[in-house]
Amino acid sequence: MALKSFIEVHPDSHFPIQNLPYGVFKPQPGSSPRPGVAIGDYVLDLSEIASAALFHGPLLNNSDCFHQPNLNKFVSLGRPAWKEARATLQKLLSATEPTLRDNATLREKSLVPMSRVELLLPVQIGDYTDFFSSLHHTKNCGLIFRGPQNPVLENWYHLPVAYHGRASSVVISGTDIVRPRGQAHPTPGSPPYFGPSRKLDFELEMATIVGPGNDLGKPVDINNAADHIFGVVLMNDWSARDIQAWEYIPLGPFLGKNFGTTISPWIVTLEALEPFACEAPKQDPPPLPYLTEKVSKNYDVALEVHIKPAEHEKPSVVTRSNLKHLYWTLTQQLAHHTINGCNLRPGDLLGTGTISGPVRLNILCSLEF
């Protein structure tokens, strides 16, 4: 029998008891930030649950990780603590458990209507890296910039290509993004254009939230990489294509990218995603041993882009894709990031790159249209 919550959850909700994504919120203006999980149309205040001494497992008993203004301390504790928390919360919220269900005072304090809260960045992001992990996106971009003779460079098939982004401009979804100013390609006989970008673009990605980090000089083994991933968020890596095209040779993206990146407020854990795990695409040539996984998997997660022009009342779906289209897996991305000894830290953000799929309807940035 499927697990059911005592809280009424609409069948179309993204937040059933099987999900329980983590975020950080303020229950009202002037409140201090605190961790929570989404359940139906409510946010469960984990600071209240911790204050009521309901996290009484061996790893979270007496921990102050849910009395922090972000999730960094909790994600640093590792998978055993995450599993303990998930089991505790699913039990507390289940229809058959009276501890929270029948305690009106605790319910009033701990269950906050989502419509009332202010959602914040779930973690303090120390570093942000953006990968280029979809073969379809890579091919489409290569055809535009290099032509059909060499759309995918040789190195791409051997390693997850990435660049280091700007963590300070990662903001919560819904934050206003100011149209960036910069230089663009000159017309013949003229200096470079300077002014607001004329080619502002979206890029639908997902991004890994790093859990426990690794020591400087000690790479993460590919088959242990999942233990360093707390979960994933949705991500829009805003891009100024005209600025990017003029500046990117020889060192890659800079002002065309670092003006703003938005992420969703909720982190969906790998445990919650496990029912959606699927086989990753076959990689040819086979990856080097440090990127060869015993089990190579992606996740079957449907993705959509909605756009609402200013004069329209409702948004329209313009394109769809799926996380399963990634060529390089989340775990390969993380393991490759550390193979040179680079140290990751709790709360670091690793973007997947645009997750375009095999057909035109699966394009997840307007550059590829």
Residues assigned a catalytic role? 137
Q: Is 247 annotated as a binding residue?
A: no
| Nearest residue to 216 (alpha-carbon basis) of 73, 123, 350, 337 | 337
| Nearest residue to 278 (alpha-carbon basis) of 322, 234, 232, 332 | 322
Q: Is 130 annotated as a binding residue?
A: yes
The terminus-to-terminus CA distance of the chain in angstroms comes to 45
Q: Is 176 annotated as a binding residue?
A: no
Q: Is 329 annotated as a binding residue?
A: no
State the Cα–Cα distance between residues 298 and 158, nearest whole angstrom.
18
Which stretch of DSSP H or E encloses residue 98?
A: helix 98-101
State the Cα–Cα distance between residues 52 and 113, nearest whole angstrom.
20
Which stretch of DSSP H or E encloses residue 295?
A: none
Length of the chain in terms of residues written: 369
Buried b (16+ CB within 10 A) or exposed e, 7-37: bebeeeeebbbebbbbbbbbbeeeeebbbbb
- Type of residue numbered 108: E
Q: Is 139 annotated as a binding residue?
A: no
State the Cα–Cα distance between residues 9 and 16, nearest whole angstrom.
6
State the Cα–Cα distance between residues 16 and 281, nearest whole angstrom.
29
Q: Is 348 annotated as a binding residue?
A: no
State the Cα–Cα distance between residues 368 and 353, nearest whole angstrom.
14
Q: Is 154 annotated as a binding residue?
A: no
Ranges assigned E (strand) in 114-241: 118-120, 128-131, 162-164, 170-172, 181-184, 193-196, 200-201, 204-210, 229-236, 239-240
Q: Is 338 annotated as a binding residue?
A: no
| Nearest residue to 230 (alpha-carbon basis) of 88, 334, 120 | 334
The two structure tokens encoding residue 28: 């009202």
The two structure tokens encoding residue 117: 């809260």
Q: Is 48 annotated as a binding residue?
A: no
The annotated binding site is made up of 130, 132, 146, 203, 205, 237, 244, 248, 257, 261, 354
The annotated binding site for Mg(2+) is made up of 237, 257, 261
The annotated binding site for substrate is made up of 132, 146, 244, 248, 354
The annotated binding site for Ca(2+) is made up of 130, 203, 205, 237
